[in-house]
Chain A
Amino acid sequence: MGLSGKDLVGLQFVPAEEIKLILDTATPMKEIIKRQIKKVPTLRGRSVVTVFYEASTRTRVSFELAAKYLSADTVNIAAGTSSVSKGEGLKDTARTIAAMGADLVVLRHPMAGAAELLARTINAPVINAGDGAHEHPSQALLDLFTVREKKGRLEGLKIAIIGDILHSRVARSDIWGFTKMGAEVRLSGPATLLPQGIEKTGAMIYASIEEAIADADVINILRIQTERQQQGLFPGLREYSQLFGINTERLKLAAPDALVMHPGPMNRGVEIAPEVADGVQSVINEQVTNGVAVRMALLYLLTGGGNQHEIAH
């Protein structure tokens, strides 16, 4: 069994059994990462191009290492935002990449729908590494993988996602992923950062953060961007921290073995207290490791894995 779609643009339309396949495939991939020699020949002779219209060291390096561990050749295009503003950057870049024979393209772009536009334009598979406020499916898959690894299951768990839901592609992908796998998703954040109609996704909205995290099995804390304050979407970081920051007191409201997650990079002392970020319940560093494993699984599956290749040993 492989993935039914050519691309991974988002999790909204990926069936639960395919999500399970990705998570199952990531498990042996993680084993590879733990080896002393982290290289298998699975994608030898294949080329993976990462195109980043936004700076993101974490996600880009994660994808590049995933490709390298599978022996693919990788190249990164750090596209300037100036060409984006001219409105012709993406399609021109797409045609160039296609002409060079890329076998898979990873795209990070500041605008929603860019990954879908690229996927329509080229024949090679496209992985969306974040498009505007739309989706960031590989981040959600690593979140799912981490929770399943720690809890042994996803079904029936209570997942609280706290913070700027409005601008968060991670939140959207997490909502689709966790709800499809049978978990309950709770959202809380400033009213100005909760998007219209989000409850129709199946997630539950809580005005009170305390209620949102009560008995939660997972607290996923979103990054607050200071520019949102400059846009007047909330009055100030200090107030935000007091109303929505996760500290040790609030953490006590969650289940005793609740996991603390964060997609990073963190604003310590704003959305997350340092002692929570570094506490025993934090799995933030493991999320990073699991990110590489999940991305290895995605590269493997989208380049024909499961049909033509076995995971090499």
Chain B
Amino acid sequence: MRLLIKGGTVIDPGTGKVVEKDILLADGKIAKIGVNLNAGSAEVLDVSGKLVAPGLIDMHVHLREPGFEAKETIFSGTRAAARGGFTTVACMPNTNPVADNAAIISHIKNTAFVKGTSNVYPIGAISRGSKGEELAEMGDMKEAGAVAFSDDGMPVMNAGLMRRAMQYARMLGLTIISHSEDKNLSAGGAMHEGYMSTVLGLKGIPSSAEEVMVARDILLAEETGCRLHIAHVSTAGSVQLVREAKARGVKVTAEVTPHHFSLNDGAVAGYDTSTKVNPPLRTAADVAAVKDGLADGTIDVIATDHAPHTIEEKDVEYELAPFGLVGLETAVGLVWTELVANGVLTPLQAISKLTINPASVLGISKGTLKTCADADITIIDPATSWTVDPEQFASKGRNTPFTGRQLKGMPYMTIVGGRVVMREGILL
């Protein structure tokens, strides 16, 4: 099967170039990149006026399978990914049972191979059951296909265990992804601690709950030489800690979610449970600091922390609702509206944080447009405005605080392994 992507503006973070070129895909690989390529027998996709990027990678999603299929499945989650322009996702291990052994990792990979629309890379748990008590079989999981380790959703409170996990991960050459949260400081909290939590009467989660753990894990990474990735950075203090660590050579990377650079804690007024996320939406000053961190390269990756829940779980009192929102299908629009259109990032920088940078953190050969690379391509229409309508989501989750939000920039086409899987919002 051959496809010729013609007339688009090619953004390749691998070369750092943005040029008008055609791309020929053949047999699931990128066959040729050049000017005025001859279509021959290939189907021609005219994408004039659109941006052609490597397939986007979301390194932080919750596919909920096995165990929580009412919230999401690998089938529905990867369709949501494709609809959002993501050709590859890495899924967190907080399933039931927890993905803390090779069997579950293999199960996820096999299910994704059979039912997945996008590529799926499982992340294994750091500790057995993500209980933070003893190391999971990390080597075994690597053999089965785990690309990183995290107890996401649960912090590793025991610093000794985290230190050993980092020593082990370093030996295996994989990254530890830190869910940075001190449970003693965040206990019972439902939103950011500050003026808004005071007014709303909700127990707050202080910024320090995140920052003390970011600091701890940076020190441990510095000591062990392990590659550390800080998930969902939300505070100005965390950004600064990562910035300083990078400056002194610590092997640390960081990610931010679209909701943390698009919303502040003022969004919680009205008690919309879609705004209940962990870490919580922070202040306007934190949002500004996160954007600064994106702009100066302190924050390497944009990841959604896509966390679907059922309507019944979220349609309750704020304190009772679970944390999390769905992000796969609004990410590109938010990146373009909040970051690119506002000049925070260039299109090349934005694409880098959605492709080559997460690929680098995970150590996977994705995210570039090299010849012979996998034919994973995302085509973005930067000019189209659209309105977020959760009823259109392919995800089972409807829990988004962006309902009705007008966004500029939408995923126009998603190509996985040389096959068009989404076109203009329609899954094929």
Query: Footprint of B on A, CB under 8 Å?
Result: 12, 84, 87-88, 90-91, 109, 111-114, 116-117, 131-135, 169, 172, 195-198, 200-201
B139 interfacial by beta-carbon distance below 8 Å:
no
In chain B between 292 and 338, which residues have their CB closer than 8 angstroms to a CB of chain A?
Answer: 312-313, 315-320
Partner of B201, one of A84, A112, A117: A112
Which B residues are CB-close (under 8 A) to A87? 313, 316-317, 320
Taking the closest CB of chain A, its distance from the CB of B322, in whole angstroms, is 10
Cβ B201 vs Cβ A135 within 8 A: yes
In the complex the two chains form, what is the Cα distance from A99 to B271 in whole Å?
Answer: 25
A111 and B193 contact, Cβ closer than 8 Å, known pairs A132-B202, A196-B204, A198-B198:
no
Size category of the binding interface on chain B: 20 to 34
User: How far does the alpha carbon of A201 sit from the alpha carbon of B203 in the complex, in Å?
Assistant: 17
Chain A residues near B202: list those with CB within 8 A: 112-113, 132-134
In the assembled complex, 14 residue pairs joining A and B whose CB atoms fall closer than 8 Å, in A order, are A84-B317, A111-B319, A112-B271, A112-B318, A114-B317, A116-B271, A117-B318, A134-B202, A169-B201, A196-B193, A196-B194, A197-B198, A201-B198, A201-B199
The chain B residue sitting closest to A133, CB to CB, is B201
Q: Which residue of chain A is the closest to B313 with respect to CB atoms?
A: A87
- Complex Cα distance, B271 from A212, in Å, reads 33
Asked if B113 is at the interface of the complex by the 8 Å CB criterion, the answer is no
In B174-233, the 8 Å CB interface with A consists of 193-204, 206
CB distance from B89 to the nearest CB of A (A): 29
Could you tell me if B198 and A88 are in contact, using CB atoms closer than 8 angstroms?
no
Closest Cβ of chain A to B226, distance in Å, is: 35
Cβ–Cβ contact A113 & B199, under 8 A:
no
Q: Which of B193, B206, B312, B318 contacts A113 (CB 8 A)?
A: B318
In the bound complex, what is the Cα–Cα distance between A112 and B204 (angstroms)? 12
Please determine whether B198 and A112 come into contact, CB atoms closer than 8 angstroms. Answer: no
Q: How far apart are the CA atoms of A132 and B206 in the complex, in Å?
A: 19
Alpha-carbon separation in the docked complex, A259 to B197 (Å)? 31
Q: Is the CB of B200 within 8 A of A196?
A: no
Residues of B within 8 A of A196 (CB): 193-195, 197-198, 204, 206
Cβ-Cβ contact count across A and B, 8 Å cutoff = 72
Q: Which residues of B contact A90 (CB under 8 A)?
A: 316-317
Contacts of A84 in B (CB 8 A): 317, 320
Scoring A90, A133, A169 by chain B CB atoms within 10 A of each residue's CB, the highest score goes to: A133
Complex-state Cα separation, A88 to B316, whole angstroms: 7
Judge whether B270 is part of the interface by a CB distance below 8 angstroms: yes
Quick one: which of A111, A135, A198 contacts B317, CB cutoff 8 A?
Answer: A111
Nearest residue (CB) in A for B193 is: A196
Residues of A within 8 A of B203 (CB): 133
Contact of A131 among B198, B201, B316 (CB under 8 A): B201
Q: In the complex the two chains form, is A113's CB within 8 Å of B200's CB? A: yes
* C-alpha gap A197/B285 in the complex (Å): 14
User: Bound state CA distance, A111 and B201, in angstroms?
Assistant: 9
Of chain A, the residue at the smallest CB distance from B203 is A133
Q: What CA separation (Å) do A43 and B138 show in the bound complex?
A: 70
CB contacts (< 8 Å) of B316 on chain A: these are 87-88, 90-91, 117
Chain A residue nearest to B270 (CB atoms) is A116
Once the chains are docked, how many angstroms separate the CA of A12 from the CA of B198?
A: 12
Query: Are A117 and B271 touching (Cβ within 8 A)?
Result: yes
Q: Is the CB of B320 within 8 A of A197?
A: no
Further 17 A-B residue pairs, CB within 8 A, beyond A112-B271, A131-B201 = A84-B317, A87-B316, A87-B320, A88-B312, A91-B315, A91-B316, A112-B202, A112-B319, A113-B200, A117-B316, A134-B200, A195-B197, A195-B204, A196-B193, A196-B194, A196-B206, A200-B195
Which residue among A91, A111, A135 has the maximum number of chain B CB atoms within 10 Å of its CB?
A: A111
Output the least CB separation between A301 and chain B (Å): 24
Q: CB distance A195 to B318 under 8 Å? A: no
CB distance from B110 to the nearest CB of A (A): 34
Complex Cα gap A221–B206 (Å) = 28
Q: In the bound complex, what is the Cα–Cα distance between A90 and B315 (angstroms)?
A: 10
Q: For A113, list chain B residues within 8 Å (CB).
A: 200-202, 271, 317-319
Least Cβ–Cβ distance between B25 and chain A, in angstroms:
48
Q: How far is the CB of B202 from chain A (nearest CB, A)?
A: 5
CB neighbours (8 Å) of B195 from chain A are 196-198, 200
Point out which of B199, B201, B204, B206 has the most chain A C-beta atoms below 10 A from its C-beta: B201
Nearest CB of B to A72, in Å: 27
Chain A residue nearest in CB terms to B320: A87
CA distance A114 to B190 in the complex (A): 14
From known contacts A116-B270, A196-B193, infer whether A12 and B319 are also in contact, taking CB-CB under 8 Å: no
Which residues of chain B have C-beta atoms less than 8 A from A169's C-beta?
Answer: 201
| Minimum C-beta distance from B197 to chain A (A) | 7
A195: chain B residues within 8 A (beta carbon)? 197-198, 204
Complexed CA–CA distance, A276 and B83 (Å): 68
Q: What residue of chain B has the Cβ atom nearest to residue A136's Cβ?
A: B201
Alpha-carbon distance between A288 and B132 when the two chains are bound, in angstroms: 52
Closest to B191 in A: A112
Residues of chain B lying within 8 A (CB to CB) of residue A201: 198-199
Report how far A185 CA is from B40 CA in the complex, Å: 79
- Minimal Cβ-Cβ distance residue in B for A88: B316
Interchain CA distance A223-B317 in the complex, whole Å: 25
Residue numbers in A under 8 Å from B196 (CB-CB): 197
Cβ of B271: which chain A residues have Cβ within 8 Å of it?
112-113, 116-117
Q: How far is the CB of B79 from chain A (nearest CB, A)?
A: 28
B residues near A117, Cβ cutoff 8 Å: 271, 316-318
Give the complex CA separation of A223 and B39 in angstroms: 79
CB of B188, distance to nearest CB on chain A (Å):
10
A87 to B320, CA, bound (A): 6
Q: How far is the CA of A12 from the CA of B201 in the complex (A)?
A: 12
CB distance from B46 to the nearest CB of A (A): 47
Contact status of A12 and B194, CB under 8 A, knowing A87-B316, A111-B318, A132-B319: no
CA A243 – CA B262 in complex, angstroms? 44
Task: Write out the residue numbers on chain A whose beta carbons fall within 8 Å of the beta carbon of B206.
Answer: 196
Kindly state the separation between the CA atoms of A112 and B190 in the bound complex, as whole angstroms: 10
Rounded to whole Å, the gap between the CB of B157 and the closest CB of chain A is 18
Task: Establish whether residues A197 and B317, one from each chain, have CB atoms under 8 Å apart when the complex forms.
Answer: no
B312: chain A residues at CB < 8 Å are 88
Q: Closest approach, in angstroms, between the C-beta of A9 and any C-beta of chain B?
A: 10
Chain B residues with CB below 8 A from A12, complex form: 199
* CB proximity of A197 to chain B, nearest CB, Å: 3
Interface residues of B in 63-108 (CB under 8 A from A): none
CB-CB nearest in chain A for B198: A195
Closest residue of chain B to A200, judged by CB?
Answer: B195
The smallest C-beta distance from B310 to any residue of chain A, in angstroms, reads 11
A169 to chain B, nearest CB (A): 6
Bound together, the chains give a CA A87 to CA B317 distance in angstroms of 7
